[in-house]
Structure 1
Amino acid sequence: MRTKRFTRWAALVGAAAAVSLVSACGSGTPSATPTAGGTVSVWIQNGAQSAAIQKHLESWGAENGTTVEVTVQASDSYLNALQLALKTGKGPDVFDASSAQVLASAGFLKPLDDVLSDEDKTAYARALQKPSPYIFNDATYAVPTTADTTRLAYNKDIFKKAGLDPEKPPVTFAEVVTACKAIEASAQGVYCFGLPLKWVGWASWMLDPSITNTEDDLTGKGIFNVSTQKYETDKAKPGIELYRELISKGWAYPGASSLENDAMRAAFAKGEIAMFVSASWDVGVLNETNKTSANWAAAAVPAPQGTKAVRQAMNAGTPYGINAASKNAAGAGAVLNVLIGSTLNTQLGKTGLTFPLRADAAKAASDAAKWPQYAQYAPSETDKAWFVAPTALLNVQGENFRDAMARLLLGTEDVSSGLDAIAGKYNAAFKDAVDSGQISAENFAKAK
């Protein structure tokens, strides 16, 4: 979801970003001290929580002498509409800033370090570790409010009927294979694994977690190492080989190459698939949208044989920022603090459709969860936000890493050679971008 958003936005404003990406945006005029009052325009994306957010902001505004004008934008056209508004000087004061590095580099965002309270800085500290999508030239430009955690979703009844322990799902790739053999032998008429390669997010959400979980410095979108500043795509080999085996042996749900995520999740909800690598938003999709009656649970994402997970990769999303051209920066800062505050995020979390990043809101949401799986996806101490990779800002010609990986696992080409070719192309593009001054390598380096 947010991964797709980032890539699309980079394509939209890439030209502007290329011109100003090395400018000292972090040294711009600081935000005014947050003070309620005046009129503040806010753009949010349409979704399950948009009505609740709008109501809360408008109610807060009425109580605090502020006219909060909330516009709910259609998600599929949000980035186009935002780009046009910002370029023409008609952008909102506060808005969803999912691609903060690109937006900041283009001069559209105001730095927030003087806006955020010490409490909020502490509450969001683990999601704002450099290199972060929300930090540019050492300044914070947006604050993410939700956690998209990754887990292995599995059907406990299918496991039990296959003679597998439903309380001990696979923790390694080898155990995934063992489980698939048992499920096939049990003749339940179901498939072992869901793999929707037609979905644009399959690589980021269903392949990357199992690989990046094994090393703190690895991040997704091509497997970038923030310490070496190299694409180490070859480390995806165990995942590619596992998925290739699942497809070749008929253990994956049919039609993986043309399977969309919604169709795959619907099949899992009907009890036709035993497991898939999932994200926290699947709790609401499976339980509320698909109204599943399946006895399902979630556990840690399996890791390649011979490795050990050191974390569970997590995306920190739904970020909010302030328009650098806002004529009411003080009021915008006050509204931003409401959007990232404990009260609203606790309220949203209690619906079961949102996973707050703030620990206080996350705990309150888990305590009030209406679905048992909610607590299994709630961000824990082992969940760590992915660092940002330069992928979306690179000028890479031809096949992207996602399509190349899909081709590898669907075909018979040598996996190692194929992955080396991907890494070579992206490393060359990264070097060219740095050497030409289009991007600063420092923005993608781990803090010392």
Structure 2
Amino acid sequence: MNKKGMAASLLTAVMLVSAGCGGSDTAGTGDKGGADSGSASGPKKVVFWHAMGGANTKVVDQLVADYNASQDKIKVEAVFQGSYDDLLSKLKASMGTKEGPSVVQMYEIGSRFMIDSKMVTPMQNFIDADKYDLTQLEPNITGYYTFNDKLFSMPFNTSNPVLYYNKDLFKAAGLDPEKPPATYEEFQKAAEAISKTGKATGGNFAIYGWFMEQFFANQGAEYINNGNGRKELATQSLVNSEAGVQTLTWWKNMVDSKAMNNLGRKTDDSKKAFSAGQVGMILDSTAALKGLVDSSKGKFEVGTGFLPKPANAKDGGVVVGGASLWIMNDRADDEQKATWDFIKFLTSPKEQAYWHINTGYFPITKKAYDEQSVKDNMKNFPQFQTAVDQLHQTKLNTATQGAVMGVFPEARQIVEGAIEEVLNNKKSPKDALDAAAKDISSKIEKYNKTVK
């Protein structure tokens, strides 16, 4: 089977179910990027497919406009393709045709598939040829997209989960508003104290598989075998290991005791309850920070803390979420080089500063923090320093690099289903996670056969 046929087969094998962290939930069609790559005398055309909806679409369009205005040899066309799942579906449909993109934004849990598809040119190829200084980028961000010492894609929109808490409710409960809970045990005590005031429920976690993945990494625990799928293809889910059972038992105990409530899977519902002062603590992406701070103005002060972990946990940290940029290898060499030039522009400190301020995602370039605009923004939103510190204090290992598997979108949905079963008293944490691990492992096995 040729590589395009293999890619189509792999795509068919992947069930498109889960929107990734930071992507638009709004379905959109958009026009497919055309095949015209520019005439010999005109600028080289680069088609950029992305999933940044809402206000972020305007930010992407501005970055593209700035790049196009900065030179006259390359013209980038940005095309919004809906949610991450919509985008992946359209990428599938374009394979084997001339209708696909030059560069595509893909959510982090699609990384294993992108590599296995054989349809991408590793970013490392351009880095080596151009002698590009990779040390200028955040190592804990590039780490996720590095396999066998090669950077396969360029990080684009990057986030971490952080703990958001209501400082006013902390004061009312007799808690130190400047000391967020750092461990599972401290979190539970704080949630119980807030609930006992009768002013609000202690906390809420949206039923989001991304959070379970993060709880594993924060304990230094791997989510799947074979080095989180990084030493070789994973064959087994480890979601039912001690790290998972302990976490889900802790979560359920707090719901059972009314220290936390269960609002379902939507992070938007969790954010709305927090902004309304109905819950004292939530988990959410760093990209949600500006919105949560703005929505609380005049009502209460928002605090931020690291993702909690068990008191006896091993060294760990958080895994980057979001998405990265992949250069497609079915485009002409000069078009790929033009795409690389655009990507280099996006990673410059000035552009990363603009991206960070206007979206809330991390800058991937270290020197972006030296830009005055970023310094001013940090003064306005000092809570973001927590996210920066958490990223920098993460110790990079196979657990914190993040798991990679070809069926990650499906796996995330299966885990969410297991959490629901536990919180709704249908199964014990161990039984639910055992069943989830078995189901995920079976899907991994089927996927691996398509790769081999």
TM range (shorter): 0.7 to 0.9
The CA distance in 2 between the partners of 1:172 and 1:11, in whole Å, is 45
- Cα offsets for 1:106-155 (capped at 9, x unmatched): 233222223125444223443343xx4x4567653311133311221111
Taking structure 1 as reference, are residues 55 and 424 closer, same or farther at Cα in structure 2, changes over 3 Å only?
A: closer
Taking structure 1 as reference, are residues 75 and 291 closer, same or farther at Cα in structure 2, changes over 3 Å only?
A: farther
Q: Indicate if the aligned counterparts of 1:146 and 1:354 stay in contact, CA closer than 8 A.
A: yes
1:251 equivalent in structure 2: 259
SS at match of 2:125: coil
Q: Indicate if the aligned counterparts of 1:38 and 1:65 stay in contact, CA closer than 8 A.
A: no
SS at match of 1:69: strand
Amino acid at match of 1:210: F
Q: Indicate if the aligned counterparts of 1:362 and 1:378 stay in contact, CA closer than 8 A.
A: no
Taking structure 1 as reference, are residues 291 and 108 closer, same or farther at Cα in structure 2, changes over 3 Å only?
A: farther
Task: Give 1:325's match in structure 2, choosing from 321, 330, 340.
Answer: 330
Taking structure 1 as reference, are residues 401 and 182 closer, same or farther at Cα in structure 2, changes over 3 Å only?
A: closer
1:236 aligns with 2:241: no
Unmatched 5+ stretches in structure 2: 1-6, 16-41
Task: Give 1:191's match in structure 2, choosing from 187, 192, 201.
Answer: 201
Q: Indicate if the aligned counterparts of 1:149 and 1:312 stay in contact, CA closer than 8 A.
A: no
SS at match of 1:70: strand
1:410 equivalent in structure 2: 424
2:349 equivalent in structure 1: 342
The CA distance in 2 between the partners of 1:184 and 1:395, in whole Å, is 35
1:80 equivalent in structure 2: 89
Structure 1 residue 251: Cα displacement: 2.5
2:276 equivalent in structure 1: 270
Amino acid at match of 2:405: P
The CA distance in 2 between the partners of 1:288 and 1:220, in whole Å, is 38
The CA distance in 2 between the partners of 1:395 and 1:148, in whole Å, is 21
The CA distance in 1 between the partners of 2:246 and 2:321, in whole Å, is 26
Taking structure 1 as reference, are residues 269 and 120 closer, same or farther at Cα in structure 2, changes over 3 Å only?
A: farther
Amino acid at match of 2:320: N
SS at match of 2:259: coil
TM-score (norm 2): 0.76
Amino acid at match of 1:373: Q
Q: Indicate if the aligned counterparts of 2:105 and 2:326 stay in contact, CA closer than 8 A.
A: yes
Structure 1 residue 345: Cα displacement: 0.8
2:103 equivalent in structure 1: 94
- Cα offsets for 1:367-396 (capped at 9, x unmatched): 222322222222642135532332626998
Taking structure 1 as reference, are residues 315 and 374 closer, same or farther at Cα in structure 2, changes over 3 Å only?
A: same
Structure 1 residue 297: Cα displacement: 0.9
2:158 equivalent in structure 1: 147
Q: Indicate if the aligned counterparts of 1:111 and 1:141 stay in contact, CA closer than 8 A.
A: yes
Taking structure 1 as reference, are residues 297 and 112 closer, same or farther at Cα in structure 2, changes over 3 Å only?
A: same
2:134 equivalent in structure 1: 121
Taking structure 1 as reference, are residues 135 and 292 closer, same or farther at Cα in structure 2, changes over 3 Å only?
A: farther
Structure 1 residue 298: Cα displacement: 0.8
Structure 1 residue 263: Cα displacement: 1.9
Q: How many residues align?
A: 396
The CA distance in 2 between the partners of 1:422 and 1:239, in whole Å, is 15
- Cα offsets for 1:224-262 (capped at 9, x unmatched): 586795532222112111221222222323x534x6221
Unmatched 5+ stretches in structure 1: 1-9, 19-35, 441-448
| Residues 15-30 of structure 1: pairs in structure 2 closer than 5 A | 15=12
TM-score (norm 1): 0.77
The CA distance in 1 between the partners of 2:117 and 2:14, in whole Å, is 5
Higher mean C-alpha displacement, 320-329 vs 154-163: 320-329
1:298 equivalent in structure 2: 304
Q: Indicate if the aligned counterparts of 1:101 and 1:135 stay in contact, CA closer than 8 A.
A: no
SS at match of 2:76: strand
1:218 equivalent in structure 2: 222
- Cα offsets for 1:186-225 (capped at 9, x unmatched): 232x11111333xxxx1212x332332111x52489x958
Amino acid at match of 1:404: A
The CA distance in 2 between the partners of 1:292 and 1:83, in whole Å, is 47
The CA distance in 1 between the partners of 2:14 and 2:247, in whole Å, is 33
The CA distance in 1 between the partners of 2:106 and 2:432, in whole Å, is 35
Structure 1 residue 163: Cα displacement: 0.6
Taking structure 1 as reference, are residues 412 and 296 closer, same or farther at Cα in structure 2, changes over 3 Å only?
A: same
Taking structure 1 as reference, are residues 114 and 184 closer, same or farther at Cα in structure 2, changes over 3 Å only?
A: closer
Taking structure 1 as reference, are residues 293 and 371 closer, same or farther at Cα in structure 2, changes over 3 Å only?
A: farther
Higher mean C-alpha displacement, 366-375 vs 296-305: 366-375
- Cα offsets for 1:147-203 (capped at 9, x unmatched): 311221111110111111111222222222222222222232x11111333xxxx12
Taking structure 1 as reference, are residues 353 and 12 closer, same or farther at Cα in structure 2, changes over 3 Å only?
A: farther
SS at match of 1:298: strand
Percent sequence identity is: 17
Say which structure is richer in helix: 2
Taking structure 1 as reference, are residues 17 and 140 closer, same or farther at Cα in structure 2, changes over 3 Å only?
A: farther
- Aligned Cα RMSD in Å? 3.4
Structure 1 residue 289: Cα displacement: 6.3
The CA distance in 2 between the partners of 1:239 and 1:62, in whole Å, is 50
Q: Indicate if the aligned counterparts of 1:183 and 1:192 stay in contact, CA closer than 8 A.
A: yes
The CA distance in 2 between the partners of 1:331 and 1:159, in whole Å, is 53
Task: Give 2:435's match in structure 1, choosing from 421, 431, 436.
Answer: 421
The CA distance in 2 between the partners of 1:145 and 1:390, in whole Å, is 20
Task: Give 2:393's match in structure 1, choosing from 382, 389, 393.
Answer: 382
